[in-house]
Structure 1
């Protein structure tokens, strides 16, 4: 494992990943054995946290970290791994397809933490190759993680072999959930979330930069959409949450939030009802 003194800077990592992407040609046998990255002595910037809470709809000044906030803390380390020369998948075009989060207890904002990020494995997918990236958060001095997540990222490319047993699309959804709210999203949502998360991917910032990558308008960050849904749904201190990112949310735009019991979804209003995000929240026993 490699120990970091400070969190990596996202800007240079995104630039490095973009420059190296054209030289990466992933195939069905792609593999990666990079060392985990560990950042110790991590303390929470409460001003940044408050801005994040406001952007995502969490109640500011709560006693603990929002469920999704450790992902923001670990994202620079994940980018350090995935933008490197040894990582076989191109960063440009890599799609965040799902995230699963487990929180074993509330995380105090005054705590000191150790953050570990690693690529667990690569797997063939019927549309290309999928990477599973694990983030673990520990309170200083403890061996067991108090928070952990697994994000899946898909690199699309031609597949030449059968992918029996490989990860496929999310399960089809049952009947639509009842609508609880309608959200009108401004064109600046991507810029506001990018400012607090550090993720300033051009597709999220402005229509002109989004069009360079094939989008008609800017696209909301997937992790903003799931954070906004979880803020509306609510989460117990010990919880398991999972979300599948099914379709991009264009900005500006209008979406509806729907939920019933432990399930939630974000979808397009009206009869079309295209689902952008679907997920569930389960209390840990």
Structure 2
């Protein structure tokens, strides 16, 4: 089933989902990287063209499997309204563009959150039986509650200032397949309570990691938490001390994203 049909299915079946346990079903596929698609992804996210994959790219390769699993009849939560809280990627070694990948997607770790229920979607990429990449996306199913409040701290001085065009959501949707309406147009975003379209969380993560290109170790872990959405168009402040990084709103100082890098 195409991604567009899966999104339609998610909307049409949302009222049938009432919580419960996560299914034990998984999804798997063997993929070969399309260099033209990779080049388009690199252009949108700010990566250079090279012979190894950007660390965030396997997430895009696995996204159709993730969406298929999360729109399955057995999945307990409606896809519209889920909040992407964070994403952790562990790369065991650089992945060459020409290496065929065996992808596997599962869900698990259902647990309480102070604003509802959270769970993980785990994607692995293996080469000849060796897992070389693992991505864990954490999602929230909101069920009331305002969450714990925290005192604001002054943001660090920016090391870069980025302008994010209004069409960033649409451009990233074309290369990622993630066509959630909140990212595409102000009109569709307003239907879900946003004043304007918002940038994909995984685009913000990829854009931050593009700023480290050429300085990352072969094996590392990068963990980000998605905070306030980036309303498009936007100007954002990027800051890093080498092991942590963040995106902040330049006027309010509120964080859009915080992340850590661990070798």
TM-score by length of 1: 0.87
Q: Which residue of 1 aligns with 2:118?
A: 130
For residue 149 of structure 1, give the secondary structure of its aligned residue in structure 2.
strand
1:213 deviation in Å?
0.9
For residue 251 of structure 1, give the secondary structure of its aligned residue in structure 2.
coil
Q: Which residue of 1 aligns with 2:254?
A: 274
For residues 83-122 of structure 1, the aligned pairs below 5 Å read 83-122=71-110
2:185 is the counterpart of 1:206: yes
2:239 is the counterpart of 1:258: yes
1:11 deviation in Å?
1.2
Contact (CA 8 Å) 1:34, 1:81: kept in 2 or not? no
For residue 269 of structure 1, give the secondary structure of its aligned residue in structure 2.
coil
**In 1, distance between residues paired with 2:205 and 2:160?**
15
1:169 deviation in Å?
7.0
The unaligned stretches of length 5 or more in structure 2 are none
Q: Deviations over 1:8-51 (max 9, x none)?
A: 5211111111111122223xxx31133211112x1001000001
The unaligned stretches of length 5 or more in structure 1 are 1-7, 160-167
Q: Which residue of 2 aligns with 1:58?
A: 47
1:181 deviation in Å?
0.9
**In 1, distance between residues paired with 2:153 and 2:58?**
31
Q: Which residue of 2 aligns with 1:248?
A: 229
**In 2, distance between residues paired with 1:45 and 1:70?**
12
Contact (CA 8 Å) 1:43, 1:110: kept in 2 or not? yes
Equivalenced residue count is 260
Segment drifting more, 124-133 vs 17-26: 17-26
**In 2, distance between residues paired with 1:194 and 1:22?**
25
Contact (CA 8 Å) 1:177, 1:264: kept in 2 or not? no
**In 1, distance between residues paired with 2:154 and 2:260?**
15
Contact (CA 8 Å) 1:100, 1:243: kept in 2 or not? yes
**In 2, distance between residues paired with 1:150 and 1:44?**
21
1:86 deviation in Å?
0.8
Q: Which residue of 2 aligns with 1:148?
A: 134
TM-score by length of 2: 0.94
2:175 is the counterpart of 1:182: no
